[in-house]
């Protein structure tokens, strides 16, 4: 069967279409974290037999960027899920401007992982297990990001909060092979390809755990799973 259509170009008809575009950046943050990780891997490989030197400054630049971008991916994603008008979370808020944006009690003011827990609560889903490896790693990633973003030199290695963070992160990733045990844990020993790789994998593992409970946005999450598969294939060609 042949279907024919014609358009009368003389017709005085105009069509105006408008669409609302919601800017998203969570996946880009994660891709950036992987890019910075790869730079650290490359620099470490080239200098594997080299003693500590100026190249370590480049490692610190890329490693810290990887950590911060990975943590930004976690926070950006849950913010996007709350804000998107067509999503399932925003309609559940009685007054979005107050419930989300209020300067004192709005959801926007919550720490990133608590936002994920709030989303699950609103959806009537079970809470994330805070004792799971995925949750503990994500919590450690946020703590490490905060320590870098809000960096305050500390001459007291026994400062309680710092000691607690080191205890939390110890054993989660391989430390830098270029600095000694007496070096600062955050700004020196954690500046490694092991930490950068852990930051990226932590985001994916946490999102897997959250998505298994929330099943909130299959289309959005599928982009993260495609990234995970592509990243795995590049690492193991």
Nearest Cα residue to 143 out of 100, 105, 113, 175:
113
d(C-alpha 172, C-alpha 175), whole Å? 9
Model pLDDT for residues 133-165, shown as the tens digit of each residue: 999 999 999 999 998 988 766 655 556 677 788
pTM of the shown model: 0.85
pLDDT at 119 over 60: yes
At 189-229, the pLDDT tens digits run 999 999 999 999 999 999 999 999 999 989 999 999 999 99
The pLDDT tens digits for 34-59 are 999 999 999 999 999 888 889 999 99
pLDDT at 92 over 50: yes
Backbone dihedral angles phi then psi of residue 11, each to the nearest 5 degrees:
-65, 135
**Nearest alpha-carbon partner for 72 in 24, 9, 3:** 24
3-state secondary structure of 166: helix
């Amino acid at each position: 069967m042949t279907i024919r259509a014609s358009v009368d170009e003389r017709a005085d008809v105009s069509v105006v279409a408008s669409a609302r575009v919601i800017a998203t950046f969570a996946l880009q943050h994660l891709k950036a974290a992987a890019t910075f990780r790869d730079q650290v891997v490359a620099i470490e490989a080239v200098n594997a037999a080299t003693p500590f030197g100026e190249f370590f400054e480049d490692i610190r630049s890329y490693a810290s960027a990887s950590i911060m971008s990975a943590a930004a991916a976690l926070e950006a994603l849950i913010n996007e899920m709350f804000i998107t008008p067509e999503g399932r979370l925003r309609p559940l808020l009685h007054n979005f401007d107050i419930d989300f944006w209020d300067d004192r009690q709005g959801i926007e003011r919550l720490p990133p992982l608590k936002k994920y827990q709030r989303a699950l609560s609103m959806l009537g889903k079970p809470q994330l297990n805070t004792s799971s490896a995925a949750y503990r790693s994500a919590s450690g990633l946020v703590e490490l990001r905060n320590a870098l973003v809000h960096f305050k030199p500390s001459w007291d290695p026994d400062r309680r909060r710092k000691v607690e963070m080191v205890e939390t992160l110890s054993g989660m990733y391989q430390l830098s092979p270029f600095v000694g045990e007496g070096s600062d844990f955050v700004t020196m020993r954690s500046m490694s390809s092991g930490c950068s790789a852990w930051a990226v994998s932590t985001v994916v593992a946490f999102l897997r755990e959250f998505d298994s409970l929330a099943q909130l946005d299959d289309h959005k999450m599928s982009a993260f799973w495609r990234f995970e598969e592509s990243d795995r294939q590049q690492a193991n060609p």
